[in-house]
Amino acid sequence: MALPWALAVLSLLPLLDARSLVCTNVTARPITNATLDRIAGKWFYVASSFRDAEFKKSAQEIETAFFYFAPNKTEGTIELREYLTIKDKCVYNFSYLNIQWENGTLSKYESGREHFAHLLLLEDPRTYIFAFHLEDEQNRGMSFYADTPEPTQGQMDEFYGVLACLGISKSEVMHTDWKKNQCEQLEKQHKEERRREEES
C-alpha cells in the first residue's frame, strides 16, 4: 500500500541537475539534529509526481493525507503517525522511519524491502520535498509537503521549480484534495486519548 511520504525505492544519488540557477540550492544534505527539529510535527501531503506506474497508481488512491513526525535523535528514528483518506475512508497507520544521517535519507522497511527517500529542504521552512529515483528518468518521483493543507502560490511555485529541475512537467503532478479529508474525527479522538494519558 502506498505511503504518502515514500512511494518508491531509491538507489544511490546523483542529485539534482545543477545547470539552472533554481536547481543549485536544491541538494540533499546530511541530516542533523537541526534538520529533525525542522521536520518534527504535523505535515500535510500536498502533491506528488511519480513516473513509475505502480507508485503512481498508489499515489492516485490517496485522496488526502496528513501525518506527525516525532524524531528520536539518540535512536536515529522518526515515529510516524499517518492519517490517510483512501476511497472516502480514514486509514490510520503507525510506524517508524530510519534516519541515514550522512546520505540525507529517511527509510522505511516495508514488504521485505527498505524504501529510501531523499529529504530536500526548501527555502521556505514550512515546506519540504521527498525525492525518489532521481538517477532514473523513467521512474523519477517526488512528493511535496507543507504545514498547511492548502499552501500559497509562492510555496507551490517553489515546488514547481524543483520539478522543472528534474525535467518533470506540471501536467504530471497529482494534487491531493483537502475537502475529502475523512480523518478529522479520528485525529480528534487520538488527541483526547493522548491528553488523558498525559494527565493520568
Ligand X SMILES: *[C@@H]1O[C@H](CO)[C@@H](O)[C@H](O)[C@H]1NC(C)=O
Please report, for residues 116, 119, 146, 156, the alpha-carbon distance to residue 99 in angstroms, rounded to integers and kept in the order given.
10, 10, 20, 27
Residue nearest ligand X by beta-carbon distance: 1
Query: Contact 49/174 with Cβ under 8 angstroms?
Result: yes
Amino acid code (one letter) for 129? I
- Tell me how far, at minimum, the Cβ of 191 lies from ligand X, in Å: 18
Distances (CA, A) of 70 to 25, 75, 85, 172, 196: 27, 12, 21, 31, 19
Q: Which is nearer to ligand X, 103 or 148 (CB)?
A: 103
Q: How far is the CB of 116 from ligand X (least distance, A)?
A: 5
The three three-digit cell numbers of residue 16, written as one number? 539534482
Give 10 or 173: the residue with its C-beta nearer to ligand X: 10
Residues that bind ligand X (CB under 6 A): 1, 3, 10, 12, 21-22, 25, 33, 72-75, 84, 91, 93, 95, 100, 103, 105, 110, 116, 123
Q: Which amino acid is at 6?
A: A
Identify which of residues 84 and 142 has a Cβ nearer to ligand X in the complex: 84
Nearer to ligand X, 3 or 46 (CB): 3
Q: Closest distance between ligand X and the C-beta of residue 120, in Å?
A: 13
Residue 121's beta-bridge partner residues?
128
CB closer to ligand X, 19 vs 171: 19
Q: Minimum distance from CB of 200 to ligand X (Å)?
A: 19
* Alpha carbon distance 190, 25 (integer Å): 38
Say how far apart CA 193 and CA 160 lie, in whole Å: 39
CB 53, min distance to ligand X, A: 18
